[in-house]
Amino acid sequence: MPIPPETGATGVAATHKGSGALLDLPLAVEAEGLVRAFGGKRAVDGVSLTLGSGDCLALFGPNGAGKTTLLRLLGGLLKPTKGTTKLHGVPLPGPAETRRLVGLISHHSMLYPALTVRENVRFAAECQGVVDADAATSEVLRQLRVLDREHQPVRFLSRGLQQRVSIARALVHGPQLVLLDEPYTGLDEVGALAFTDALRELKDGGATLVLVTHNLVEGIALATRAVIMRGGRFVYDEGTPAGGFDLPAFQAQYRALVHEGLA
C-alpha cells in the first residue's frame, strides 16, 4: 500500500510509471544550465538534466562537489544564479504550493526534540496541507515501524529511530519529488530496509527521487541513473535502462574520479 494520501496537484504522476516522459506530459524534473554561486565560488557550474516520474538519480562525489546545492536547486529551495529548473513543468522557485510536491530528507533530523514523534510528523503533514493529517501520520509511522513510539518525545529516541521519524516527516504528504541528502546516515539494518521499501513504493507510484550518498551499494539499489559530480559538474553519467547496472565498472570509475583528487 503506497503512502497516503493520494497527492493532488495532478493525478497524472500517479498513473505514470518508469523513466522517460510521455510526449504530452511535463517531465518531473527539467534542469538547464544550472549555475549557483556563493560569493565568487560556483558550487554548481553548468548542470543540465531531465528526470521522469519513477526515475531515481543517485549523486555521488567528494565533499564540496556541489551535490547538496544541486539537490536544493532541483527542489526549488535555492534560486539559481543562472539557468532554469522546472518541476512538473512549473519553473522553480514557484508559488508556495509547488513546495508541497517536494519532500526533503537530510542527515539532520529536522525534528523538534521536545515534541513527540506523532506531533512532529503531524505538524509537517498539516503544514503541507494534508487533509486528514492524523490518518496520514498513523499510516506513515506504521510503514516506517515507529508507530509504537509515537508518543515519545523525539529527544529520547536513538539516532536511528530519529532518522526514521525524520523520513516519516518528509514522506507523510506523498511528495512527487523526494530529495535525499545522505539519508542512510545513522540507520540500522531494520530501518534501512523499511526505508528502502518505502522509497521503492514511492518510486513505483510515480515519484522521482534524487539521492545524494557516499554509500555505493545503497545508492545503486534504487537508481535508474547514477552520476559522479566534482567541482560543480557532472564528470561521469550513467543512465541505465531498466535493470542491468554495471556495478564493478561504476565502482572503478568512482574510485578513479573521486579518489583521484586525494592522490
Partner 1 sequence: MSGGAPKPAVLAPAFLADALRIARKDLLIEFRTRSAFMAATVFAVLSVVIFRFTWDPTAIPAFDLAPGVLWVIFTFSGLLGLNRSFGLELSDRAYDGLLASQVSRESIFVGKVLANLAFVSGVQALALPAVALFFDLHVGSAWGVLIGIVLCASLGLAAVGTLFAAIASNTRLAELLLPMMTLPFFVPLVIPAAQTSAYILRGQPLEDAMPWFKLLLAFDLVFVTACIVVFPYTIEE
Partner 2 sequence: MATSAATITAPGKLPEAKPIDGFLAISIVAVLAVCVRAIWFTPVDAMLGAAQKIFYVHVPSAIAGLYVACGLLAVSSILYLWLKDERLDRLAEASAEVGLLFMGIVLVTGPIWARTSWGTWWVWEARITSTLFLWLLVLGYLVLRGAVESPENRARLSAVMGSLAALLVPFIHLTVKLFRGMHPGPVVLKPEKPSLPPEMLTTFLMAIVAFMLLFFALLRVRMRWAALRDARTAMEAA
Residues that bind partner 1 (CB under 8 A): 2, 5-12, 14-15, 75, 77-79, 93, 96-100, 102, 104, 106, 108-115, 119, 123-124, 126-131, 153, 169-170, 173-174, 205-206
d(CA 95, CA 200): 29
First to last CA, the chain: 48
Least separation in angstroms between CB 78 and partner 1? 6
Do the Cβ atoms of 10 and 209 come closer than 8 Å? no
- The residue range among 82-90, 202-210, 216-224, 237-245 that interacts with partner 2, by the rule CB under 8 A, is 82-90
Least separation in angstroms between CB 84 and partner 2? 7
> Does 83 sit near partner 2 (CB under 8 A)?
yes
The answer to whether the Cα torsion of 25, 23, 238, 193 is positive or negative is: positive
* Residue 42 interacts with which of partner 2, partner 1, none, CB < 5 to 8 Å by class: partner 2
> Does 86 sit near partner 2 (CB under 8 A)?
no
Do the Cβ atoms of 44 and 25 come closer than 8 Å? no
* Residue 222 interacts with which of partner 2, partner 1, none, CB < 5 to 8 Å by class: none
> Does 41 sit near partner 2 (CB under 8 A)?
yes
Among 17, 22, 38, 260, binds partner 2 (CB under 8 A): 38
The neighbour count for residue 166, using CB atoms within 10 Å, is: 25
Q: Which is closer to partner 2, CB of 44 or CB of 179?
A: 44
Least separation in angstroms between CB 190 and partner 1? 22
> Does 79 sit near partner 2 (CB under 8 A)?
yes
> Does 39 sit near partner 2 (CB under 8 A)?
yes
- The residue range among 2-10, 16-24, 40-48, 146-154 that interacts with partner 2, by the rule CB under 8 A, is 40-48
Do the Cβ atoms of 75 and 67 come closer than 8 Å? no
The neighbour count for residue 190, using CB atoms within 10 Å, is: 11
Neighbouring C-alpha atoms within 13 Å toward the C-beta of 133: 14
* Residue 102 interacts with which of partner 2, partner 1, none, CB < 5 to 8 Å by class: partner 1
Q: Which long-range contacts (CB under 8 A, 24 or more apart) does 23-29 make?
A: 26/86, 26/88, 26/89, 27/51, 27/52, 27/86, 27/88, 27/89, 28/52, 28/53, 28/55, 28/87, 28/88, 28/176, 28/177, 28/208, 29/55, 29/74, 29/85, 29/86, 29/87, 29/177, 29/208, 29/210
Q: Which is closer to partner 2, CB of 85 or CB of 166?
A: 85
* Residue 221 interacts with which of partner 1, partner 2, none, CB < 5 to 8 Å by class: none
Neighbouring C-alpha atoms within 13 Å toward the C-beta of 70: 33
The neighbour count for residue 188, using CB atoms within 10 Å, is: 14
* Residue 127 interacts with which of partner 1, partner 2, none, CB < 5 to 8 Å by class: partner 1
Q: Which is closer to partner 2, CB of 68 or CB of 138?
A: 68
Binding site for partner 2 (CB under 8 A): 36-42, 79-84
